[in-house]
Structure 1
């Protein structure tokens, strides 16, 4: 049993997309972290991690945003994000935003060392083997690029899903292939992005699973949009919602069972 004295102080990095489009993911993350024996806070001063600016070569704005995030989160034992993309930005790219002799470099490295993606933190840091939740139905899982390639997240969500009552995991073809979102890539190269997500949608539907899961909301919004435009009945959810047994509401990309305007 975890005693109050040993409970780590965890700050949840909500992410822009979760805040704006899917707050349920944030609530699910808090529940999972608290159930794993953590004291959780959601710092109000947090901002975007700066990844859009960084990916577009705007290192000055990315650096300013990084300073804001570092100052906000460095007082906690851990920073945890329900996103491999944002966690990867902080963990792998923040230190390189600063020169070696810049005092912010050491602060960035210190924060990077205690930054984790949600499911990886639960399994690799807290030793969680099951969440106690149930979800009846077939699911397939998409491995987002940043989570898989920058943070090594692959087996962790699958182990937790396998431990759930009622879940049958069906692997789609090429689950580790990009969905075509890539943040601003989908804006700069819409035709290429559209072709990639079309192939992903076909793979999802061909799996026969009734629900598509992933750990990054950007990927999920992109795939949900294409699936709804194809008239697919596949529900799309963040894996945290299922693991926390908070998947009763409308699926991503749908409101009251209907596609959103962006997903039409």
Structure 2
């Protein structure tokens, strides 16, 4: 349903109509991230649509509620199929874990549900996480941002292991004027959130985030950023309880210039 361009085939400077996928976690708790993404993409000359949408079904799939996950996947695909019919060329997701769910889990959800229509819909969804859309599709690393802070970047598990974002977020951060990028020790270690993992395995989760927070504080950063607010909520909560003074900020807010001053 979305056509014309694949990862790595840069659109260049042509304006693009983007359908924005905002995670239900962001919609409920971190609405500033969605507003920041709209401001950023519009500043770069692109048009942003926000179609009515539902949860992608990731948490249901990973916790074993496969029938419910299939229902949500159908609804999510239908929402963005409707956006495509209204002229949207690509879906841009603000949660790496949601983008990973659509690209990696939807084909498996469709097979488990024995639903060929869902399989076709999943194949037709052109979903990109924000930083890969900027770097790989638009060919942009300097978005004209200014953020005068020392920042540590945490690569969330879905971004590193499923999407393979590699250094794309770091390339964008290095181009932000005034930003000092800190080298985070053991950056690739999980923060311990993992959706329901943090609730079902609370003691292990707390131990993991304690390690993550210790490494963040070792950098001397005053801001930690990532491409998924679920992990940032977990990390930010631990930092707040320690009264560390380190703030957790979604990368979109830094690139848009709407993060904390």
SS in 1 for 2:64: coil
Equivalent in 61, 64, 67 of residue 68 of structure 2: 61
Equivalent in 248, 255, 258 of residue 236 of structure 1: 248
Kindly indicate whether the alpha-carbon contact (under 8 Å) linking 2:40 and 2:256 is maintained by their aligned counterparts in 1: yes
Kindly indicate whether the alpha-carbon contact (under 8 Å) linking 2:12 and 2:138 is maintained by their aligned counterparts in 1: no
Residue 34 (structure 1) aligned with residue 42 (structure 2) = yes
Matches within 5 A, 1:1-264: 6-44=14-52, 46-74=53-81, 75=84, 76-99=88-111, 102-111=116-125, 114-248=126-260
Deviation at 1:34, TM superposition (A): 2.1
Deviation at 1:104, TM superposition (A): 2.0
Kindly indicate whether the alpha-carbon contact (under 8 Å) linking 2:150 and 2:181 is maintained by their aligned counterparts in 1: yes
Kindly indicate whether the alpha-carbon contact (under 8 Å) linking 1:82 and 1:216 is maintained by their aligned counterparts in 2: yes
TM-score, normalization by structure 2: 0.89
Deviation at 1:117, TM superposition (A): 0.4
Deviation at 1:2, TM superposition (A): 7.4
Kindly indicate whether the alpha-carbon contact (under 8 Å) linking 1:119 and 1:156 is maintained by their aligned counterparts in 2: yes
Kindly indicate whether the alpha-carbon contact (under 8 Å) linking 1:123 and 1:156 is maintained by their aligned counterparts in 2: yes
Deviation at 1:101, TM superposition (A): 6.6
Kindly indicate whether the alpha-carbon contact (under 8 Å) linking 2:22 and 2:94 is maintained by their aligned counterparts in 1: yes
1:135-185 deviation digits (Å, cap 9, x = unpaired) = 112110000000111111131111111111111101111111100000000
Kindly indicate whether the alpha-carbon contact (under 8 Å) linking 1:132 and 1:164 is maintained by their aligned counterparts in 2: yes
Q: How many residues are aligned here?
A: 244
SS in 2 for 1:136: coil
Structure 1 range deviating more: 121-130 or 94-103: 94-103
In the superposition, relative to structure 1, how do residues 135 and 102 fare at CA in structure 2: closer, same or farther (>3 Å)?
same
In the superposition, relative to structure 1, how do residues 92 and 107 fare at CA in structure 2: closer, same or farther (>3 Å)?
same
Q: 1:241 and 1:103 mapped to 2: Cα distance?
A: 36
SS in 1 for 2:210: helix
